[in-house]
Amino acid sequence: MPVPASPVPPAPAAPLGVAPLEVAPGALWYREALDRAAQAALLADIRAVIAAAPLFVPTMPRTARPFSVRMSNCGPLGWVSDTSGYRYQPFHPDTRLPWPPIPPALMALWATYAACPVPPEACLVNVYAADARMSLHQDRDEADLTAPVLSVSLGDTALFRIGSDDRRGATRSLKLASGDIFLLSGPSRLAFHGVDRILGGTSTLLPEGGRINLTLRRVTAA
């Protein structure tokens, strides 16, 4: 199904004093944006989110094949996947309770790095074990495709792959480490991206190992 045409806003300017690496037009990599103390504080926030909204294993719509990552959400809306399809909904698929609110620290990161006048409505929490992967995909289930997508990495380094809005286009690999922030904006808002593997033992933030990725998104049109 083709993506509806949407105006493409310019990529946001870098926060004061922070110089990102622009790996593609609008794809901005802020390396070591969060120090260890900020990572630990954010991890505590996410542990509280998961306590309120337990991790679940989504499945592919057509095949019912389980994802290799476990997920949760916070915010007014949460992303889920099952045999009914990909979608956002306001409640947990198992508990049927509303998602907990997005922690203030994440809202502050959105205000600083996304340069978007409207707040995020969803934060997807992806928990990667050592053998988890994420195939190349676009973030295209949102009604608003002009707002950026902001990603925060915690824990072990991920071998992250990013391309263009053409699945068959060339890709490049990056090593996203704990505390890194990555922004898909402007021309790269619909870039295909994924995680090829987790590099175990590259961080001591998570005692159990693995990686947590937090993805902030605007869902509905402003």
Q: Fill in the amino acid letter for 200.
A: G
* Per-residue pLDDT tens digits for 106-119: 999 999 999 899 99
Distance from C-alpha of 92 to C-alpha of 54, rounded to nearest angstrom: 8
Q: Which domains does the chain have, with CATH numbers?
A: 37-56+63-217 (2.60.120.590)
Q: Is the pLDDT of residue 9 over 50?
A: no
Q: Walk across the sheet containing 122-128 and list its strands.
A: 21-24, 27-30, 181-184, 149-155, 211-217, 122-128, 70-74
Q: Is the pLDDT of residue 1 over 90?
A: no
User: Dihedral angle at the C-alpha atoms of 167, 149, 199, 58, nearest 10 degrees?
Assistant: -80
Look up residue 204 and give its two tokens: 């001591």
| Band (222; pLDDT cuts 50, 70, 90) | confident
Q: Are 211 and 199 in contact (CB under 8 A)?
A: no
pLDDT at 17: 60
Of 198, 214, 151, 197, nearest to 23 by C-alpha is: 151
Residues in the chain: 222
Higher pLDDT, 206 or 13: 206
CB-based contacts of 204: which residues, under 8 Å, 6+ apart? none
Share of the chain above pLDDT 90, in %: 89
The DSSP bridge partners found for residue 176 are 158
DSSP state of 204: S
| Band (102; pLDDT cuts 50, 70, 90) | very high
Distance from C-alpha of 75 to C-alpha of 88, rounded to nearest angstrom: 11
The model carries a pTM of 0.91
Q: Fill in the amino acid letter for 8.
A: V
Look up residue 65 and give its two tokens: 């094949």
How does strand 70-74 pair with strand 122-128?
antiparallel
Burial class (CB in 10 A: 0-12, 13-18, 19+), 110: buried
| Band (3; pLDDT cuts 50, 70, 90) | very low
Mean pLDDT, the chain, rounded, equals 92
| Band (146; pLDDT cuts 50, 70, 90) | very high
Cβ atoms within 10 A of the Cβ of 213, count? 21
Q: Is the pLDDT of residue 133 over 60?
A: yes
* Per-residue pLDDT tens digits for 40-72: 999 999 999 999 999 999 999 989 999 999 999
| Band (8; pLDDT cuts 50, 70, 90) | very low
The DSSP bridge partners found for residue 213 are 126, 153
Distance from C-alpha of 81 to C-alpha of 84, rounded to nearest angstrom: 7
